[in-house]
Structure 1
């Protein structure tokens, strides 16, 4: 750690001025007073300014502050409100911060692009700078992010950015400006902070970092971290470089200052007040530390951030040191120091706070590389042909992960409508999604084994529709010479699916006490007489027979049509093989039933062996 010199209490290095040309042009719009000169002055109530475009261009025509859009209200030196439309066409940076990884499969608007907290700080700073002519950004206080700024199923989003002078500290010649970003259709701000401007940098944070205890070199290089998507960030936000050292309560690494040349379509050289991409990499480094402890984090607040010098030149590698100060419950809190690449301290951050999650490793790998990993578990069933694929998934496998976000990973655009219609966060919606995941995993596994490749189809490239009699069918726009037939069943937070070259049927049900009325509705007198002959658990046999009828109905493609007695049990083998006759058509099915824990699984296929397989 590099100590700041004593002169940092009132650093003679001038901070990045709040864009003098920008502010002066704003002042020409209407008469008004500049910032008050001292604490005794009280600003007049804000007055509305005419709606007109912000004078956001340099004399050469190049935009200055990329997030200052149309000015809605402006009282010079007091308050401002700005409208800024985020669009996927203009804001290219959004493509590199999308939560769903589906390149070439889903359009970007369906992949949940999100504005990082650090880019939100830049937006806040630009609006606040319009109220501080001749002053420069020296930091932020009390940053609070309460919701994602996301483009969900849209290619444009309206932001309303407000800033108001909250306090003028005449003794320290510092402006405290409260700023917030409001997203359309939401009353509360998505993020808010106090932005600090002054003519000189100033040191208020005295942070003391301890040596990294039990330090070790992180086994992956930063290139591998981004390439293998251990971090989801695209090129714009890939600012971690070199090797990373982790310790018991902290981490150390290097951050690269990058020229923001590909952030916007029409702005070749955006002039930022902060360094949002590099700051986002601070959160990435904290995330790597957390991942080593099987935790995954998203930033929600910052206590204070202080700048001590201008942004180093692009290409500079800046050492960063992180110390974890609190790791308990749902919160992870850290202090941060970043150097300028020349041995001096560039900035310090107090109480960078993340919200922690814990996800199953299978879920994490799928989210990282959905064409390499499956969410469900393989299920080995007796007599199931080697070419068939049977997959099972439960609610526990996706615990802690947002259901709506998972749906975006797994579902085709056409399926998202059906998912939404089921109602947010309802049991039926989750069961339906689990069934689709199991079915798509079975199909993806089946296709990969047929072609002998490790790479699989993206689940969102497949669509599951209901055909005749409600039988599910799978289709894809991808290049697949042959698709299997599928069958799906779900019960009690579990879903199972089989993909097979021929017709197939599967059903799963929990074993539970069955009332006599259920048995009488489900089975005829001759079938019920079999229970006494079979012996054992009558509830298990009732469940087996019910599952067998369901599986047979799916296999034959005739449906149950509310009449389970249309399917008659002809014989039951000791190994759980149940022979079913469909009375009306005269067609038969030999359904194998097995018990797995407290569930019965019944399955039948055109080439599933009808004998052998041992006892169920």
Structure 2
């Protein structure tokens, strides 16, 4: 730290006195350095005041101990402030409360302390977090915390204890570490050397840390909002302040929990690293381990504002490595971390924006309607959204589902086979919910969270909105193909389809088209014929979806009566006597078809395309595949 104070000698280092069973500190301070006497039974939670001591399932005095501790959101209140899925103003039942890595360190420290009564935590080494510890859906995640003394490297006044946490019966640990216990704190190391910015580096940026929480650059709730004041973000380091918060709100039923570490303050130190990562790389950064943590004194009193600093040591692949230190508020060093490791996530910018504000941000893109469709339908009446798998390629699909789905929808998602079907279904729901939200806003409604409502399917597979906050709900249509999904939302029934443009064989063409349609296709061949055959198929699908039946009993019951140069098709469904004008749009390798509403027989037969009805543009020439063909605006069946 920036201090000219003289570090205390080892003999003047404060006594470690964090465990409540130490009744007489003066006697303990004068006691000779002898190994602690292992109790016949481990400490009890009520006696020790340690919030993470649960049910002892195994105990060998002076050797090892195992404790099972359920995670209960009602008791472990800190979980609600470390929730990856949040919905402002509502309690999302699909919330994803994750145990912070620093809270896992506290768990292991408390259990390890049972083996060495009279000693306190002085450091932690070799922390390796391999998976998140998540509270279960509607139930408790049961954690098994194990601690074993390393007798080969322990001395009478310094013990090394290997600890790990396994969740819900998993044999592989979610996190492991080596904890150091002793009678006195070690001498504080010298301050971190100054960072050496690269030549030509920009001047440090001053950042108001309060805005990081307000703008949700950091997802942490009040209990973990430890950054304070202005942070100075340099090219290779960050300086800031942390506020020490009282732990009284972390646990229900425990007004004064006895913590061996300060998990919230440690988490705030990691947040400074994450803030640096976002500023310089636009990447989220989550801690996954550390090399060595050294405690140089007791935790500063609640309410203290202490200086903190992080020096970036390097980036390897997606791993960010830094050295960190926190002052004690009196010019000395409270804590030093060498080799803090954070994994950086290169998420899409739109995804980051959605996570920060899921109510006002849409994850998908607006899909423009073809000119004829756009001209015949006001923008407020129909909304179309589209999303590709690339948008969420680096994001966990199960976590994305929790952002968008209600519990019944989430259960359906989880029951689906693995990717790609599960991914395609989820992308369709994202597009549909975004379309519905955009439609509601265009109608003058309030912005909605995707979890405010649900989408179900009727017996014919037609999607429809449930749990809509007001009336009426929009009509929906969803399509997905390959790695793309698209959806329409409108005030009246709509239909949309999406398909890859490809050459189909004669058998496929015969199955999809009628003789009259093949007459319309005429002598077109190659890429041009492939494009128009795809338009035909998509138009039939879109019309069937808009009618709510799908292409039942078969695609040839939906017949195109005219193919128009602007990509529109005059469709007719003889069984219902319903006509429709379906517009299509070529987008890269995909073809999209839009059916925005029924048209009577006269309208379908009399509407002229390619004229000035849709503005001044005249559709005299069509570009399909690699050829150009001049033809009448619409070619009608005889």
Q: Same fold (TM over 0.5)?
A: yes
Q: 1: distance between equivalents of 2:140 and 2:454?
A: 27
Separation (CA, whole Å) in 1 of partners of 2:349 and 2:92: 27
Deviation at 1:493, TM superposition (A): 0.7
SS in structure 1 of the partner of residue 21 of structure 2:
helix
Question: Can you list the C-alpha shifts for 1:465-514, whole angstroms capped at 9, x where unaligned?
Answer: 1125221111225x322211111111111011111111111111111111
CA apart distance, 1:135: 1.6
Secondary structure class of the residue paired with 1:332: strand
TM-score for the superposition, normalised by structure 1: 0.90
Give the distance between the partners of 2:33 and 2:178, measured in 1 at CA: 18
Residues of 2 paired with 1:585 and 1:490: CA distance? Answer: 27
Of 404, 407, 413, the match for 1:413: 407
Deviation of 1:133 after TM superposition, in Å, equals 1.9
2:501 match = 511
Residues 535-565 of structure 1 deviation map (CA, whole Å, 9 limit, x = unaligned): 7711101111110111111112232136111
Q: Secondary structure, in 3 states, of the residue corresponding to 1:581?
A: strand
Q: Is the 8 A contact 1:22 1:56 kept in 2?
A: no
Indicate conservation of the 8 Å contact 1:303/1:350, yes or no: yes
2:82 corresponding residue in structure 1: 97
* Kept in 2: contact 1:8–1:201 (CA 8 A): no
Give the corresponding residue for 2:536: 545
Contact map agreement 2:286 2:343 (CA 8 A) in 1: yes
Q: 1:324 aligns to what?
A: 312
Q: 1:343 aligns with which of 312, 328, 331?
A: 331
Q: Is the 8 A contact 2:22 2:118 kept in 1?
A: no
- 2:126 maps to 1:113: no
Total equivalences in the alignment: 590
Distance 1:328 1:296 in 2: 15
1:126 paired to 2:110:
yes
Distance 1:22 1:152, change over 3 A: farther
- For residues 333-371 of structure 1, give each alpha carbon's deviation from its aligned partner in whole angstroms, at most 9, with x where no partner exists: 100011011111111000000112101111011111110
Among 366, 373, 376, which residue is 2:361 paired with? 373
> Which of these residues, 466, 470, 473, is aligned with residue 475 of structure 1?
466
Structure 1 position 57 matched with structure 2 position 50:
no
* Partner of residue 10, structure 1: 10
Counterpart mapping for 1:421-570 below 5 A = 421-424=415-418, 426-451=419-444, 453=446, 456-477=447-468, 479-532=469-522, 537-561=528-552, 563-570=554-561
- The worse-fitting range, judged by mean Cα deviation, of 526-535 and 303-312 is 526-535
Q: Counterpart of 2:497 in 1: which secondary structure?
A: strand
CA contact (8 A) 1:496 1:508 kept: yes
Alignment of structure 1 residues 383-398 onto 2, 5 Å = 383-384=373-374, 385=377, 386-387=379-380, 388-398=382-392
Report the Cα distance in structure 2 between the residues aligned to 1:215 and 1:135, rounded to whole angstroms: 47
Please state whether the residue corresponding to 1:149 is helix, strand or coil: coil
Whole-Å Cα distance in 2 between the matches of residues 169 and 488 of structure 1?
63
Runs of at least 5 residues in structure 1 that lack an aligned partner in the other structure: 25-34
Residues 16 and 273 in structure 1, CA contact (< 8 A), matched pair in contact too: no
The answer to whether the 8 A contact 1:503-1:605 is kept is yes
The alignment yields a C-alpha RMSD, in angstroms, of: 2.7
Q: Which residue of structure 1 lines up, in the alignment, with residue 72 of structure 2? A: 87
Paired position in structure 2 for 1:78:
63
Question: CA offsets, 1:149-200, max 9 Å, x none?
Answer: 1013133121111111113657683111111112122001111111111111
Counterparts in 2 of 1:137-148, with a 5 A limit?
A: 137-148=121-132
Contact 1:36 1:168 in 2 (8 A): no
Q: Give the Cα separation in 1 of the matches to 2:523 and 2:231.
A: 68
Query: Separation in 1 of the partners of 2:11 and 2:535?
Result: 79
Change (3 A) 1:532 1:147: same
1:14-413 equivalence runs, <5 A: 14-21=14-21, 37=34, 55-57=44-46, 64-103=49-88, 105-108=90-93, 110-167=94-151, 173-203=157-187, 208-211=192-195, 213=197, 214=201, 216=203, 218=205, 220-292=207-279, 293-381=281-369, 382=371, 383-384=373-374, 385=377, 386-387=379-380, 388-413=382-407
Flag the 1:607–1:222 CA change in 2: closer, same or farther, 3 A. Answer: farther
Cα deviation, 1:71-110, whole Å, max 9, x if unaligned, reads: 22222322211121210111111100011012554545x2
**Preserved contact between residue 206 and residue 232 of structure 2 (Cα < 8 Å):** no
